[in-house]
Chains A and B, each alone.
Chain A
Amino acid sequence: MQTRFTDLRFIIGLFFTLMAGIVLARYVTGTGAVLNLWSGLAFGVFGVLMMVAAKVERDEG
């Protein structure tokens, strides 16, 4: 069985990026709670880094 763990990094990265988008959207449109802002940014940075790591791994073969 071929298991490409880069796929998992991409999946996790995409999930956190989308989740960050929802949390930040709630900050912008609703609560204005600073906790949503910082958490959303942290989730987003983590998600993007995971996706970049997956892409670098894939490009390097």
Chain B
Amino acid sequence: MRLHPTDYAIIALYFAFVIAVGFIIKRRIRSSNDFLNSGRNIPLWITSLAFISANLGAQEVLGMVASGAKYGIMTVHFYWVGAIFAMVFLGVFMMPFYYGSKARSVPEYLSMRFDEKTRGLNAITFAGMTVFSSGISLFALAKLLEITLGWDFDISIWVAAGIVMAYTFLGGLTSAVYNEVLQFFLIVLGLFPLVVVCLDDAGGWANIKANLAPQYTHAWEYLDKADRNSMGINAMSLIFGLGFVMSFGYWCTDFLVVQRAMIARNMNDAQRTPILAAVPKMLMPIIVVLPGVVAIALMQPGMQSGPDVFRIPTAPDGGFDYTMTLPSLLAHYYPSGLLGVGITALLASFMSGMAGNVTAFNSVFTYDIYQSYFVKQRSDRHYLLVGKWVTVVGILISILTAYVAQSFNNINDFLQLVFSFVNGPLFATFVLGMFWKRATGHGAFWGLLTGTLAAAATHGLTIAEGKGGWISPTFTIGSGMAQAFAVASVSFIVNFGVTIIVSLLTAPKPDSELRGLVYSLTEKPSTHGLPWYRKASSLGLLLVILTLLLNWIFY
């Protein structure tokens, strides 16, 4: 793929704008709260789009197009099963505690609800995960640019990381959030023309259905048994593993996304942030799944004619290199000019993911590690400076991680695995903490720890597609995805059980210390007199119905 100077002009324009946003916001930063929490003064439409954009990283965009090509329309489960319900639950039931407790971060909520050791465990694992995740994302982007455009790996890493550093250092969370909104529009509007032209080229959805195996165009029909679909999962493991444990574990507890709702202006806006964000999330498969399905349809015999046909590149093992589906579609369909927009959209998706990780990292490190355990009772200016320099340190660690990932082939898999061990059990801690006042700090801590160990043990005892089984390959699972769901499910159940048992054996906090932190002891936010569209519960119910309807349509 070769870019025209026009394409480079669009990329340069984008870089100039994101840095300009940093300079504009810099003038408004007065305190650590402004830098790390946006002063809790961001309007609803911005928090909602930033909420969805923080999740719209390069791996999400490239990965979902790849998954659409590999598994077909079943990929929508990551949205219509694995996201919307959890986002509605977060808005309706959990935001009153996150926002109402006035906690500045998710780990800080854990310290209020449980104790310092639970906060410390969550803060340290989360800080490590975000900064490593940012590095892996950086590595993936530089590798992609090297393969598709022939750009130098080192230059790609330093330029991309340098730009993210510039605008997050200058304007902190507000700058990251503002740019996430710009990035959201760029990704959606930049990739939408691709959907239109490739769908038209394939003869429309009806022609795609007629030319693809039915497993590729039905979301649920082949989920009765794991061996009837290419994902190798059945409906039960999908609903419990993805739809409940993994989905709620990520959307309801990961500070990276929850932070965007916590900076809203008031409780009502904080509650509606994830719910309004669920609207674009529900429609996102049009942008990131459909092109993958179209790509695999175009590869079917008789779908294309002439010398200039689209092909998904071949991997070294002889199969399709699905990760390259989106770049190949862009190169095939976009003329120079629009190609620059498409490449910029990819860069934007990377930057929104990286900036999201870095801003969540600096909040958690500054408040939950540095201020809590190392240097207490200093001036606000001190913590503002620490927050700024932690941003720089976080990005430097990301760069280092990217180079380590380049040297060790399997470090990406290893880190992703560690992330799943840590994230899998987390939702059990929060759901018990928020809805069972008897849950104690000791219960939460040991539940989290044993849940994580159970995840590691499950992975070590099961083997799927050659992965896992490092303790003893005792159980064989049909696909890596089914294995991931199993690991998450076991870790959740173990955490849930251990937290309950240890809590019943230890003394709980008095009710007076739990007000505003536990459902039964918290006054519910009043929505009396508000129109339906300003009530989180009404909006959430509407979204749940629409999501069920979509699942039924694409059954």
Q: Which residues of A contact B (CB under 8 A)?
A: 1-3, 5, 7-8, 11-12, 15-16, 18-19, 22-23, 25-27, 30-31, 33, 35-36, 38-40, 42-43, 46
Which partner residue on chain A sits nearest B42 by CB separation?
A3
- Listed by A's residue number, 29 A-B pairs whose Cβ atoms lie within 8 Å are A1-B38, A1-B41, A2-B28, A3-B28, A3-B38, A3-B174, A5-B42, A5-B45, A8-B181, A8-B182, A11-B20, A15-B17, A15-B182, A16-B189, A19-B10, A23-B10, A23-B338, A25-B6, A26-B4, A26-B337, A30-B4, A31-B335, A33-B335, A33-B337, A36-B335, A39-B338, A39-B341, A43-B189, A46-B185
Enumerate chain B residues within 8 angstroms of A23, measured Cβ to Cβ.
Answer: 6, 10, 337-338, 340-341
Whether the pair A35, B341 counts as a contact (CB closer than 8 A) is no
Whether the pair B338, A35 counts as a contact (CB closer than 8 A) is yes
Enumerate chain B residues within 8 angstroms of A39, measured Cβ to Cβ.
Answer: 193, 338, 341
Q: How many residues on B have C-beta within 8 angstroms of the other chain's C-beta atoms?
A: 38
Which partner residue on chain B sits nearest A20 by CB separation?
B341
Instruction: Answer yes or no: B282 CB below 8 A from chain A CBs.
Output: no
Instruction: Answer yes or no: B418 CB below 8 A from chain A CBs.
Output: no
Q: How far is B35's CA from A1's CA once the two chains are assembled, in angstroms?
A: 10
Enumerate chain B residues within 8 angstroms of A1, measured Cβ to Cβ.
Answer: 28-31, 34, 38-39, 41, 174
Enumerate chain B residues within 8 angstroms of A11, measured Cβ to Cβ.
Answer: 17, 20-21, 24, 178, 182
Given contacts A3-B38, A5-B46, A35-B338, could you give 11 more A-B pairs where the C-beta distance is less than 8 Å?
Answer: A1-B28, A1-B30, A1-B31, A3-B174, A5-B45, A15-B14, A33-B335, A33-B337, A36-B335, A43-B341, A46-B189
* A contacts with B: majority SS: helix
Q: Which residues of B contact A (CB under 8 A)?
A: 4, 6, 9-10, 13-14, 17, 20-21, 24, 28-31, 34, 38-39, 41-43, 45-46, 174, 178, 181-182, 185, 189, 193, 197, 333-338, 340-341
Enumerate chain B residues within 8 angstroms of A12, measured Cβ to Cβ.
Answer: 181-182, 185
Which partner residue on chain B sits nearest A26 by CB separation?
B337
Q: How far is B380's CA from A29's CA once the two chains are assembled, in angstroms?
A: 55
Which partner residue on chain A sits nearest B334 by CB separation?
A35
Enumerate chain A residues within 8 angstroms of B189, measured Cβ to Cβ.
Answer: 16, 42-43, 46
Enumerate chain A residues within 8 angstroms of B13, measured Cβ to Cβ.
Answer: 15, 18-19, 22
| Top-9 shortest CB links A-B | A26-B337, A33-B335, A1-B39, A1-B34, A31-B335, A26-B6, A5-B43, A36-B337, A23-B337
Enumerate chain A residues within 8 angstroms of B31, measured Cβ to Cβ.
Answer: 1
Q: A47 to nearest B CB, angstroms? A: 10
Q: A25 to nearest B CB, angstroms? A: 7
Q: How far is B344's CA from A22's CA once the two chains are assembled, in angstroms?
A: 13
